[in-house]
Structure 1
Amino acid sequence: MYAKSLNKPTPVNLAQHTYWNLGGHNSGTILFNNVQIFSFRITPADVQVIPTGEVSSISSTPYDFQQPMTIYYRINQPNTGYDIYYVLKKERGCEGLLKVAMLRDNVSGRKLEQWTNQLGLQFYTANTLNEERGKGSPNSMNHPNFPSTYVNPG
């Protein structure tokens, strides 16, 4: 995905909302997949899943997927699933894509790798899929310590 502003600063919130079941159609739940997220920080959210403006360490918390972990074993620890933004460690001067996450289905052996040049990754386990969330303006605008969502001309 790519955004370009032609003549004035424009807020942009690019999001990829793809849901994967690596086991295949009718294979059941994804809860027995292993996930690994190469991040050690999150942006905590309030009860409406809106970031509070803080950035917190995930060390020794249910959000710690720095090593491969089966989703099932932690799914109910944060509440009723995951819907959390992971802050990615972007290397200075790195303009290319970095591998930020992996998902593996242990039965089929299929593996998905997530690569990005962006600053974060949302991990969502479809725990509230039938609810509408995230409508309205981008939340980064409300926290000056978060990266800007504006794309400037040129």
Structure 2
Amino acid sequence: MKAKALNKPTPVNLMQHAYWNLDGHNSGDILSNVVQIFGSQIIVINSDLVPAGKFGSVKGTPYDFLEPHSIKSKIIELANGYDMNYVLDGGVGHKLKRAAVVHDLKSGRVLKLSTSASGMQFYTSNTLDIKGKGGFEYKPHAAL
């Protein structure tokens, strides 16, 4: 995605806000997905999910996806699931760097995500409750 101001400086916030379920939209939850996130720090948030102005290490926390493991293996340690911004390793700049790899063991599908951004939000659709494609009901943890 790109933006170009035609005649004056213009604030713009380009972001991707897709949800994925690698086993298919009507296959249930994503808790068995194996995830690896290439970020050794997170942006610390307060109880209102507002950034607190500092970074925190993921080591020894439920947010540690430096080595691949299933979402369900640590989500039980969290009150509401994942909704965390990771500070991606690999420095700053405009070069693409690895952000995450997600492997769905049931379908065999693998998602490899790269970005030039310095951070990535990991969200496990904790409050999802809508009707979607074909009238299928999407419930919490139906996508990431």
TM-score range, shorter chain: 0.7 to 0.9
Pair 1:127-2:126 in alignment: yes
CA drift of 1:50 comes to 1.3
Pair 1:95-2:94 in alignment: yes
Post-superposition Cα deviations, 1:29-73, rounded to whole Å, max 9, x if no partner, equal 110000100010000112221111111111111000001110011
Change (3 A) 1:37 1:24: same
Structure with more of its chain in strand, by fraction: 2
Letter paired with 2:74 = R
What TM-score results when the alignment is normalised by the length of structure 1? 0.76
Pair 1:15-2:33 in alignment: no
Inter-partner Cα distance in structure 1 for 2:90 and 2:3: 20
Pair 1:35-2:60 in alignment: no
Query: Is the partner of 2:54 in helix, strand or coil?
Result: coil
Number of equivalent positions: 128
Inter-partner Cα distance in structure 1 for 2:69 and 2:13: 29
Change (3 A) 1:80 1:87: same
Letter paired with 1:119 = S
Letter paired with 1:22 = L
